[in-house]
Structure 1
Amino acid sequence: MEKYQKLEKIGQGAYGSVYKARDTSTGQLVALKKNHLPISDQGIPPSTLREVSLLQLLSNSLYIVRLLSVEHIPIHNGKHLLFLVFEYLDTDLKKFIDSHLQPPNPTLLPPNTVQSFLFQICSGVAHCHSNGVLHRDLKPHNLLIDVEKGIIKIADLGLGRAFSVPLKNYTHEVVTLCYRAPEVLLGANYSTAVDMWSVGCIFAEMVRMKVLFLGDSEFRQLLIIFRLLGTPTEEVWPGVTSLPDWHAYPQWEPQDLAHAVPYLGADGVDLLSKMLIYNPADRISAKDAMNHPYFDTLDRNQF
């Protein structure tokens, strides 16, 4: 690893550490994701192979963090290190929002910034979906920002899954709770619509500067969603009461979504409502979202 000079540790995940580093030959800043590979007769773990292959497939989009190279290093006792070398970005959306909340003068994100970021996120998600990939863990922490260029990119495809037809039963231990779609919480089969629910939650958070649905358990998460959007019925979501984890929930009427995002105009509220539709079959797709009137004042040619 003489090729890279480690500068600082910037993250710790389930599968390894992430370091800010410099390519010693070019001076380029990179992010090194270090994976400890266990000894296995089967070779590299499937989860790692999956992430690498997905990243290679998706890296040709401006709105997906680019995988620059993969370095495989034997160390000792049959153990190996695998370094994934990514482009380095300044910050993530969570830190970016938090930076605007610092006293003594907390500020909202400018509406044109929210609009631009949301369009780019939808573009990245549409790219994933058109290549048959679910992200499954979209959240502000996994959206990296080049502040100078105003570009936001999707990162951390460690939970990404290629989807196929017919849809398989995927694991339900996916998506950080606040951004988890109700079909996942209720134990249903799921597909690309889970990512769009997460995008809706992120959209609302950029406007509100705080999490939209802040639950501390799966049950509480559902109750918080139901209190705002109304308890789902068979009319709005056919089959909902037959889902594996459905219970007898309190019956709430839907509230006015605009009250939850008071600084968002009518077009924005309409787009948000389409991202937070209960029935996954009716939820707006990333591609269709990009054509929504909310983006009519955006210069799409810059993207």
Structure 2
Amino acid sequence: IDDATLNKILGEGSFGVVAKCRNTETQKSVAVKVNKGQEGVLQQAISEIAVLKRMRCLDRDICNVVQWDGFFFDKENICITFELLDMSLRDYMKEQDRGFTVGELKPILYQLATALASLHSIGITHMDLKPDNIMVDRSHQQLKVKLIDFGLARPVSALHQGDCIGTLFYCAPEMLLGVPFDESIDIWALGQVMAELAMGCWLYPGDTHYDMLRYIVETQGQPPDDLLDNGWYTKQNMKQDADHHRDQKMFISLIKSMLTLDVSNRINAQQVLDHEFFAASIPQKNKKIKPNKNKTKKNLLSVIISK
């Protein structure tokens, strides 16, 4: 990457930076994730590329995940190229400076549930779902969103008990407690994101694992439902929408299903899509998410060496 192709830095993290660059072959602007050359970061980048290759079997027109265009090396750094998107949902929330109505949340929730259903259908867990890792496209009448950043994503088969990675505010209780977990942790995080969008603040703003568990127990323990109901309807930050009272009740019911403490009873991504909350409002509501069978499956080792 040289000065002729680098336009500006879009974001920065422990992995390195994301830069807006110009593809000299197509002359199009792209987003390039430039990973540091450190050993740990290098291994994470390799794992991310493996996940991205595995995701090639998904239908890019409906899966609502960022499209990637391959990778290259810049000296000792692995650079991963993605389509250039508008802005993060976190920045969009700051720009709006208010909670979202249920009518505004419905298409966002549906698109994110579609993204998770797509990933889960091929055995991939995102592991770090949060507003910072969701991009919005404001060029349409209805807000379009896409899931990004697969740096922490893993196959379900590679999940290990005791791991607690990602951002604390969105960690499922089973991760906080160090018990076995699966892809349903993404559904918990989705519930947290939707609650945050509705209220304009974090649902459980704990600074430590203990704080997070205390918030969860206080809210969903004694009693589990009344506090959540009352808390949401009395929050001044949640924009009231009198015309959608029934939708609000169904929305809260759906969020509760995503935030169920008992993992065996927690709703999954496809069940979110099939929920009555979306009845008559989403054209292809009953379309099941499944990978493209015409694409060949590869194991994690082969996808790295077969570029």
1:63-212 map, 5 Å: 63-73=64-74, 75=75, 80-101=76-97, 107-149=98-140, 150-164=143-157, 169-212=160-203
2: CA distance, partners of 1:9 / 1:56: 25
C-alpha distance in structure 1 between counterparts of 2:4 and 2:203, whole Å: 40
Counterpart position of 1:239: none
Q: In the TM superposition, what whole-angstrom CA distance separates every residue of 1:163-186 from its partner, at most 9, and x where no partner exists?
A: 12xx75245231211111011111
**8 A contact 1:58–1:64 mirrored in 2:** no
List aligned pairs for 1:39-78, cutoff 5 A: 45-59=42-56, 60=58, 61=60, 62-73=63-74, 75=75
Say which SS state the counterpart of residue 250 (structure 2) adopts: helix
List alignment gaps of at least 5 residues for structure 1: 102-106, 231-251
Residue 3 to residue 162, structure 1, CA distance change in 2 (3 Å)? farther
* Structure 1 runs, 4 residues or longer, greater than 6 Å off: none
Aligned-residue offset at 1:98: 1.1
Take 2:90 and 2:160, find their aligned partners in 1: how far apart are those partners? 31
- TM-score normalised by L of structure 2: 0.80
The 1:121–1:66 alpha-carbon spacing in structure 2 relative to 1, beyond 3 Å, is same
* Whole-angstrom CA distance in 2 between matches of 1:2 and 1:11: 18
Amino acid at match of 2:129: L
User: Within 5 Å, which residues of 2 pair with 1:262-273?
Assistant: 262=233, 263=240, 265-273=248-256
| TM-score calculated relative to the size of structure 1 | 0.81
Deviation at 1:5, TM superposition (A): 1.6
Percent of aligned positions that are identical = 26
Change (3 A) 1:4 1:224: farther
More helix by share: 2
Counterpart pick for 2:265 among 258, 272, 282: 282
Equivalents in 2 of 1:221, 1:214: separation in Å?
Answer: 7
SS in structure 1 of the partner of residue 36 of structure 2: strand
Paired AA for residue 268 in structure 2: S
Q: Is the 8 A contact 1:4 1:23 kept in 2?
A: no
Contact 1:227 1:255 in 2 (8 A): no
Q: 1:63 to 1:168 in 2, by over 3 A?
A: closer
Task: Note if contact 2:161-2:179 (Cα within 8 Å) is conserved in structure 1.
Answer: no
CA change 1:146–1:170 in 2 (3 A) is farther
Q: CA RMSD in A?
A: 2.3
